[in-house]
C-alpha cells in the first residue's frame, strides 16, 4: 500500500494556514512526509510557521500571501504553483460573522460566499483537474456541523459550509475512479483563535483541539467521503439525521447558538399546539372479533413475545414472519419464540413476499430508532399496500399529533394510499405516560403536578448494544457523552408525551426541557447488561420536564441502575420490587399508582417486554376496523383492548 507521501506528494497546499486548524493541518502533512505550501492573508505569520515546520521536520516549505476573497489571487495561486508537484489540496480558510442576519450589510455576506464558496470551488477545480490527469491526489474541504441544518446568528456561514459538504461528496463520487481521494471534514467547535474571538459563553459545548481534528482528518483521507472528527459529533449527526426532523434540528441548533454567543435571545423549544393534522374520529362500538391474518416483523426482545401471543390467540392467525438475522431465516416461528409445536410458518427477509400474503395487520417490533429511515420505508410500504401496522417501534409516534413532519407526513400519505391504519405504543414511552396517567387523573378533582417514573434495575436486560450504549453504561465521565445525553435527544423521545398530556389538560407550557444525572461506580459490577469497572457509569437518572411559570408541572423521569448497589441514594421501587412504572399526581387528593409486571420464569425486564407487546397485539382487531390514518391511544375505546384476552 502506498504511503501518505507516495499517494499525495510531493507538495501539499494548505489554504488558510496562518494559525489554528490550518497550522495543525500543515504540520500534520509535514509529519507525513509532504512539503507544504502555506497560503494566508497574513503571510508573516505563515512564514514563521513555515520556518518552524521546516526546522522540525526537514521538509521544504513555502509561504504565499493571498486574499482568498479575491478571484485574481485565486488564479495567481494556480499559476504560481503550476510547476510545483502538488498532490494534496486542503482548503481550511473561512470567513464568518456572528450575529443576527441583518446586523451585517450585503457586502459582508458576499465576502463569506467569496471566501467559503468561491475559494474552494476555484482551487478544487484547478488542482483537481491536475490530479485527475495524473491519476492520483487528494482534496480536503473543511465544513462544519452547521452545514447539517440552518443556524441562527450564522445563517449565511452555515449555508456556505453546506455547499462545501455537498461539493466534496459529489467530487468524491466523481473522482474516486480516477485515483483522486476527496474528503469533507465537518468539525464542531474547535479551539482556534477565530472561535475564541467569537466570545463563546456556553461552557457545556464540547470543544476540540486543532491537532485532534487535523489528525483525524488526515487519517480519514482515502477511507470515506465524509468525516465527523469526534465521537460526540458522530452521535450528534446520527441524532439529527435519524432521530429528529429538520425542524427540530434547526430549533435545537438555534437554542445552542443563542446560548453559546453573547446577547442571547430568548428561545423556547416550545410546544406544538398549532394547527396540526388531527386524526379522524373512530368508531366507539365494536363488532365481534373475526379471525385476523397477521405477519410478525422481527423476533427480538419484544418480537418473540408478540409472536408467542399471536400464535396462542384463537382470533389471530400467523401467516408470515420476518427476520433480519441470517441465522433465523428459514426457521419455524415456534422455534424462534420458544414453543415446541411447529407452526409451518418460517422466517423470511423478503418484504414483498410478506405483502403478497395480504395480511390484515403487521406487528412491527423491529428496532427502528437506530434505523429510522429504513423503518419508515418498511412501514410505509405495508401501509400503502393496504396492510395495517401495529408497532412498538418508532416511539416518536406514540403521540402522532406531536410527531415531526418528516416522520408523520409520509406515513399519513401511505395510510391514505392504502386505506390503512398505524398504531404505535409500548410500556414506556406508552402506558406509563398515557393510560396509567389517565387512570390517576380520573381520581382527582384538581391536579397541580404530574410525575411519571420508570424505576428499574436493568442488570439482567440483555441489550447492551442499543440500551446500554445509548444510556452510557460502562462509560467514564471523561468519555464523549452517550446518545441520550446529547442536547435535545431526550426531548425528542419523551417531549411528545409531555406536550400531548399538556394539550389534553389544556395547560400552556413555557418550555420542555431535559435533565440528566449519571452515577459512577466505586467498585466493579458484573451483570448481564455489561461489566462496569470503578469510575464507569452504572446508573442514570434522566427526565423531560414540561415547565409552566418556571416550575415543572409534568415530569417524565427514568431511574435506571445496574444491580441494587448502584446509586443507593436514589429512589428504589417499593416493597423490594425490581422495577416499577409509577404515576404520582399531586392534587385533590394526592394519587400514586404503582404498576409492577412480573413472570415466574422471566426477569422483570423481560416481563416488561411481554407487556410492551401486549400494548399493540391487544389492539389489532380495532386497528383493522379503524378509518385510515395514524392512531393515538386516546382514539381507542379502552374496552376494545381487553376483548379476546380470556379464552
Number of domains the chain contains: 3
List pLDDT tens digits, range 398-423: 999 999 999 999 999 999 999 999 99
Whole-angstrom distance, CA of residue 214 vs CA of residue 606:
46
Domain holding 74: CATH number? 3.40.50.720
Asked if residue 242 has pLDDT above 60, the reply is no
Average pLDDT, the chain: 88
Residues 22 and 136 in one domain: yes
DSSP class of 284: S
Domain that holds residue 31: 4-260
Residues 20 and 109 in one domain: yes
Residues 421 and 440 in one domain: no
Domain boundary pick from 218, 243, 260: 260
Asked if residue 279 has pLDDT above 60, the reply is no
Looking at residue 287, what is its pLDDT? 38
Looking at residue 250, what is its pLDDT? 72
Residues 18 and 93 in one domain: yes
Residues 545 and 629 in one domain: no
Looking at residue 273, what is its pLDDT? 25
CA distances from 471 to 244, 431, 438, 467, 542 (A): 18, 21, 28, 6, 10
Query: Minimum mean pLDDT among 111-125, 147-161, 530-544: which range?
Result: 147-161
Cell numbers that stand for 152 in this block: 441562527
Measure the CA dihedral 242/248/252/257, to 10°: 110
The residue ranking higher by pLDDT, 208 or 200, is 208
Residues 319 and 242 in one domain: no
- Would you say residue 647 lies in a domain? no
Residues 127 and 220 in one domain: yes
State the average pLDDT over residues 575-592.
95
- Would you say residue 270 lies in a domain? no
Burial class of residue 187, CB neighbours in 10 A (0-12, 13-18, 19+): buried
**Tally of helices (H runs) and strands (E runs) in the chain:** 21, 22
Query: Minimum mean pLDDT among 177-191, 223-237, 259-273: which range?
Result: 259-273
Residues 472 and 506 in one domain: yes
Residues 76 and 163 in one domain: yes
Looking at residue 236, what is its pLDDT? 64
Q: Helix-strand-coil percent breakdown of the chain, rounded to 5?
A: 40, 20, 35
Q: What is the pTM of this model?
A: 0.59
Whole-angstrom distance, CA of residue 98 vs CA of residue 19:
20
- Would you say residue 63 lies in a domain? yes
- Residue 56 CA, distance from chain mean position: 43
By C-alpha distance, which of 486, 428, 496 is closest to 273?
496
Looking at residue 292, what is its pLDDT? 92
In percent, how much of the chain has pLDDT > 90? 72
Looking at residue 285, what is its pLDDT? 31
Query: Minimum mean pLDDT among 21-35, 450-464, 479-493: which range?
Result: 479-493
Looking at residue 505, what is its pLDDT? 96
- Would you say residue 77 lies in a domain? yes
Looking at residue 264, what is its pLDDT? 37
Residues 347 and 246 in one domain: no
Domain boundary pick from 260, 278, 309: 260
With beta carbons less than 8 A apart as the criterion, state whether 367 and 393 touch. yes
List pLDDT tens digits, range 284-325: 333 345 689 999 999 999 999 999 999 999 899 999 999 999
With beta carbons less than 8 A apart as the criterion, state whether 316 and 624 touch. no
326-330-336 Cα angle (round to 5): 85
- Would you say residue 603 lies in a domain? no
- Would you say residue 281 lies in a domain? no
List pLDDT tens digits, range 85-132: 999 999 999 998 888 888 888 989 999 999 999 999 999 999 999 999
Query: Minimum mean pLDDT among 14-23, 261-270, 312-321: which range?
Result: 261-270
pLDDT band at 486 (very low <50, low <70, confident <90, very high): confident
State the average pLDDT over residues 154-167.
94
Whole-angstrom distance, CA of residue 210 vs CA of residue 26:
11
Rg (CA), the chain: 28
Looking at residue 203, what is its pLDDT? 46
- Would you say residue 237 lies in a domain? yes
State the average pLDDT over residues 484-499.
90
- Would you say residue 150 lies in a domain? yes
The residue ranking higher by pLDDT, 118 or 19, is 118
Residues 388 and 324 in one domain: yes
Looking at residue 205, what is its pLDDT? 57
Cell numbers that stand for 518 in this block: 449519571
Whole-angstrom distance, CA of residue 579 vs CA of residue 572:
8
- Cis, bond preceding 146 (omega within 30 deg of 0): no
State the average pLDDT over residues 567-584.
94
Cell numbers that stand for 317 in this block: 392467525
Asked if residue 268 has pLDDT above 80, the reply is no
Looking at residue 232, what is its pLDDT? 57
Overall residue count recorded for the chain in this entry: 647
Domain boundary pick from 216, 242, 260: 260
Residues 175 and 312 in one domain: no
Amino acid at each position: 500500500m502506498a504511503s501518505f507521501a507516495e499517494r499525495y506528494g510531493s507538495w501539499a497546499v494548505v489554504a488558510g494556514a496562518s494559525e489554528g486548524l490550518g497550522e495543525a493541518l500543515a504540520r500534520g502533512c509535514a509529519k507525513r512526509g509532504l512539503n507544504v505550501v502555506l497560503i494566508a492573508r497574513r503571510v508573516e505569520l505563515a512564514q514563521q510557521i513555515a520556518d518552524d515546520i521546516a526546522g522540525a521536520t526537514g521538509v521544504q516549505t513555502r509561504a504565499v500571501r493571498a486574499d482568498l476573497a479575491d478571484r485574481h489571487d485565486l488564479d495567481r495561486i494556480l499559476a504560481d504553483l503550476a510547476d510545483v508537484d502538488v498532490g494534496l489540496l486542503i482548503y481550511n480558510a473561512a470567513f464568518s460573522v456572528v450575529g443576527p442576519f441583518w446586523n451585517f450589510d450585503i457586502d459582508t455576506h458576499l465576502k463569506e460566499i467569496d471566501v467559503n464558496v468561491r475559494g474552494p470551488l476555484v482551487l478544487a477545480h484547478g488542482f483537481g483537474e491536475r490530479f485527475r490527469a495524473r491519476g492520483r491526489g487528494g482534496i480536503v474541504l473543511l465544513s462544519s456541523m452547521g452545514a447539517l441544518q440552518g443556524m441562527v446568528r450564522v445563517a449565511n456561514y452555515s449555508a456556505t459550509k453546506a455547499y462545501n459538504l455537498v461539493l466534496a461528496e459529489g467530487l468524491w463520487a466523481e473522482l474516486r475512479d480516477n485515483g483522486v481521494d476527496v474528503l469533507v471534514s465537518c468539525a464542531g467547535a474547535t479551539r482556534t483563535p477565530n472561535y475564541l474571538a467569537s466570545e463563546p459563553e456556553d461552557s457545556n459545548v464540547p470543544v476540540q483541539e486543532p491537532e485532534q481534528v487535523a489528525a483525524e482528518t488526515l487519517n480519514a483521507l482515502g477511507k470515506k467521503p465524509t468525516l465527523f472528527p469526534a465521537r460526540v459529533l458522530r452521535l450528534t449527526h446520527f441524532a439529527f439525521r435519524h432521530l429528529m426532523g429538520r425542524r427540530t434540528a434547526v430549533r435545537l441548533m438555534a437554542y445552542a447558538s443563542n446560548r453559546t454567543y453573547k446577547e442571547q435571545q430568548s428561545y423556547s423549544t416550545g410546544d406544538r399546539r398549532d394547527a396540526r393534522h388531527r386524526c379522524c374520529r373512530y368508531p366507539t362500538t365494536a363488532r365481534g372479533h373475526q379471525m385476523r391474518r397477521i405477519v410478525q416483523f422481527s423476533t427480538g426482545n419484544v418480537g418473540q413475545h408478540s409472536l408467542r401471543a399471536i400464535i396462542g390467540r384463537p382470533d389471530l392467525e400467523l401467516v408470515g414472519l420476518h427476520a433480519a438475522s441470517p441465522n433465523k431465516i428459514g426457521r419455524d416461528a415456534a422455534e424462534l419464540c420458544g414453543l415446541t409445536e411447529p407452526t409451518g410458518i418460517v422466517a423470511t427477509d423478503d418484504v414483498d413476499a410478506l405483502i403478497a400474503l395480504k395480511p390484515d395487520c403487521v406487528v412491527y417490533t423491529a428496532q427502528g430508532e437506530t434505523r429510522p429511515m429504513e423503518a419508515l420505508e418498511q412501514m410505509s410500504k405495508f401501509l400503502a399496500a393496504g396492510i395495517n401496522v401495529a408497532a412498538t417501534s418508532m416511539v416518536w409516534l406514540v403521540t402522532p399529533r406531536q410527531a415531526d413532519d418528516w416522520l408523520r407526513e409520509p406515513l399519513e400519505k401511505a395510510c391514505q394510499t392504502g386505506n390503512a391504519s398505524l398504531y404505535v405504543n409500548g410500556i414506556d414511552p406508552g402506558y406509563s405516560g398515557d393510560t396509567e396517567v389517565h387512570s390517576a387523573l380520573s381520581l382527582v378533582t384538581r391536579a397541580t403536578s404530574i410525575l411519571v417514573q420508570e424505576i428499574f434495575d436493568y442488570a439482567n436486560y440483555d441489550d447492551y448494544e442499543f440500551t446500554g450504549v445509548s444510556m452510557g453504561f460502562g462509560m467514564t465521565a471523561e468519555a464523549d457523552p452517550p446518545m441520550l445525553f446529547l442536547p435535545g435527544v431526550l426531548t425528542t423521545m419523551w417531549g411528545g408525551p409531555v406536550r400531548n398530556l399538556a394539550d389534553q389538560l389544556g395547560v400552556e407550557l413555557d418550555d420542555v426541557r431535559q435533565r440528566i444525572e449519571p452515577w459512577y461506580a466505586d467498585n466493579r459490577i458484573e451483570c448481564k447488561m455489561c461489566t462496569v469497572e470503578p469510575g464507569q457509569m452504572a446508573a442514570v437518572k434522566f427526565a423531560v420536564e414540561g415547565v409552566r411559570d418556571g416550575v415543572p408541572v409534568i415530569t417524565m423521569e427514568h431511574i435506571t441502575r445496574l444491580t441494587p448497589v448502584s446509586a443507593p441514594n436514589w429512589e428504589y421501587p417499593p416493597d423490594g420490587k425490581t422495577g416499577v412504572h409509577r404515576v404520582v399526581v399531586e392534587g385533590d387528593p394526592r394519587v400514586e399508582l404503582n404498576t409492577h409486571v412480573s413472570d415466574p420464569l422471566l426477569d422483570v425486564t423481560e416481563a416488561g417486554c411481554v407487556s410492551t407487546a401486549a400494548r399493540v397485539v391487544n389492539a389489532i382487531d380495532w386497528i383493522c376496523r379503524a378509518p385510515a390514518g395514524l392512531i393515538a391511544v386516546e382514539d381507542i375505546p379502552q374496552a376494545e383492548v381487553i376483548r379476546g384476552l380470556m379464552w
